[in-house]
Amino acid sequence: MNFKIFINQIINTYFRVINIREGRIDNVANFSDLSALLEGFVTKGLPGCGCAIAKNGEILYEGYFGYADLEKRKPINEESVFRIFSMTKVIICTAAMILYERGKFLLSDPIYEYFPEYKETKVFVKDSKGNVYVEKAKNTMLIKHAFTMAVGLPYHFGDSPTANEIRKVKAELKEKYGKYDIVTEVRAMGSVPVAFEPGTRWLYGYGHDIIAALIQEISGKPVGKFLYEEIFGPLGMDSTGYRFYGDIEERMVCCYRKNENGTLERVQGMLDEFHQPDAIYEAGGAGLYSTVRDYLKFSQMLANGGCYKGQRIIGRKTIDLMRTNQLNEQQLKDFNHNNVYLAGYGYGLGVRTLMNPAEGNSNSSVGEFGWTGALGTYVSIDPSEGFSLVYMHQMIPNMEEYHHLRVRSVAYGCL
């Protein structure tokens, strides 16, 4: 038996006994299976990974395997910092819903009430001959559409007419300003014709960047400052943010590309320029870094009615709204059609939410929610159990279906 797994078994057995004695869990969880799984990931070619599980505010499991830097043989540990990419979305949408709870906006509000540039939204339309032209949108773009990815604005990569226009706007902003903030960008995107009538389809992309700009516009504070004051500071998430400070940069996990022959090639971390101290861009769809422990605190807050260690961040009923499916039948097809990874899930206000465990082949609960990051980060939050798990690695391709669904199965099997 691997010595590290053996030690983890001893430690986990001790903490299981303590937790059972104090009534935190009601049976003995076999966390050695999770350690073996994660160790297996590394053996099969993953550079390294970290995972933690908590229930009712108490950490039940924490394990780190492999390396943060293969060349220097630097192990991944509880101090390792990961680029969380789209797991930024869960934090941004939670932050915005704090403002919703304070009556600062309604989900039914038109976006143009905050950003007038969206008053005359245009839409790309294709005729029966395949010709593409632009016309005025019939539907008003609402704040809810931005939360639910129903605005018709994809990300700038891809070759759709809308993506091409978004790239053009980004290039113009960079040429004009050099560095610019999220509000400047979102205002400029109001000129881009969208891919469909707002609210009618689901398309992964720019919606949560609009939500980040909304936070800044309403609060009058940079997005990062609002996040620190309302979430990171109260929860003690001292290794989470947009900008490098202290020793964060040297604690960052290296990013690797797994080639077809199985070899690992070190690559530059995507979006790292926006972590530099002089950067000002703070996006809503990506851009934050965090540790497994930090994000576990955030996930536990959401799993336990908006409170963690005596700090209330958001209301329980607001969390319930966030994890309620918001998509209609057509949008659900756009979201999870023939997608094993998202099978059984709907989409709420910035999070996937489990609607049908049988369809998802999942042993988690109805209403379990979370999201994923492009380099392999993953969060699953289950308020019905007060339970959450956070898993992180940094690899391209992230092989999310292979890694995350296995982690989900084993972690929920520990309940």
Say whether pLDDT at 1 is over 50: no
> Cis omega (within 30 of 0) on the bond before 397?
yes
Same domain, 207 and 229: no
* Burial of residue 129, with CB atoms counted within 10 A of its CB: 0-12 exposed, 13-18 middle, 19 or more buried: exposed
Can you state the angle between helices 88-101 and 292-303, rounded to 10 degrees?
40
What would the pLDDT profile of 60-109 be if each residue is shown by its tens digit? 999 999 999 999 999 999 999 999 999 999 999 999 999 999 999 999 99
CA dist., res. 67 & res. 63, Å (int): 13
Can you state the angle between helices 161-177 and 182-189, rounded to 10 degrees?
140
What would the pLDDT profile of 151-174 be if each residue is shown by its tens digit? 999 999 888 999 999 999 999 999
Same domain, 243 and 389: yes
Q: In what helix (H) or strand (E) does residue 170 lie, and over which residues does it extend?
A: helix 161-177
What would the pLDDT profile of 353-410 be if each residue is shown by its tens digit? 999 999 999 999 999 999 999 999 999 999 999 999 999 999 999 999 999 999 999 9
CB atoms within 10 A of CB 116: 12
370: left (phi over 0), alpha (psi -120 to 50) or beta: left
DSSP state of 42: H
Same domain, 173 and 42: no
Same domain, 172 and 186: yes
- What residues contact 203, with CB distance under 8 A and at least 6 apart? 149, 150, 151, 152, 153, 154, 195, 196, 334
Mean pLDDT for the stretch of residues 224-244: 98
In a domain, 18, yes or no: yes
In the chain, the amino acid numbered 42 is: V
SS (H, E, C) 10-40: HHHHHHHHHHHHCCCCCCCCCHHHHHHHHHH
Same domain, 345 and 279: yes
% of the chain surpassing 90 pLDDT? 90
Same domain, 404 and 265: yes
pLDDT for the residue 165: 97
Domain end, chosen from 219, 247, 266, is at 219
CA dist., res. 399 & res. 94, Å (int): 27
Domain end, chosen from 153, 187, 219, is at 219
Can you state the angle between helices 207-219 and 182-189, rounded to 10 degrees?
120
Same domain, 89 and 207: no
What would the pLDDT profile of 248-279 be if each residue is shown by its tens digit? 999 999 999 999 999 999 999 889 999 999 99
- Give the domain range for residue 252: 3-96+223-413
Same domain, 166 and 21: no
CA dist., res. 367 & res. 357, Å (int): 10
Q: How many CA atoms lie within 13 A of 139 on its CB side?
A: 19
**Residue 311 phi, psi (nearest 5):** -100, 115
Mean pLDDT of the chain: 93
Domain end, chosen from 171, 190, 219, is at 219
Same domain, 312 and 397: yes
Same domain, 231 and 199: no
CA dist., res. 229 & res. 213, Å (int): 17
pLDDT for the residue 30: 73
Quick one: pLDDT band at residue 17, thresholds 50, 70, 90? very low
At 308, list the tokens: 């963690």
Same domain, 300 and 252: yes
| Helix, coil or strand: residue 237 | coil
CATH number at 29 reads 3.40.710.10
Same domain, 186 and 258: no
In a domain, 124, yes or no: yes
At 232, list the tokens: 């990171």
**Residue 163 phi, psi (nearest 5):** -60, -40
Please count the structural domains in the chain: 2
In a domain, 102, yes or no: no
Cβ–Cβ under 8 Å, residues 69 and 254: yes
Can you state the angle between helices 400-413 and 31-43, rounded to 10 degrees?
160
Can you state the angle between helices 31-43 and 3-21, rounded to 10 degrees?
150
In a domain, 101, yes or no: no
Quick one: pLDDT band at residue 29, thresholds 50, 70, 90? low
What would the pLDDT profile of 102-151 be if each residue is shown by its tens digit? 999 999 999 999 999 999 999 999 888 889 999 999 999 999 999 999 99
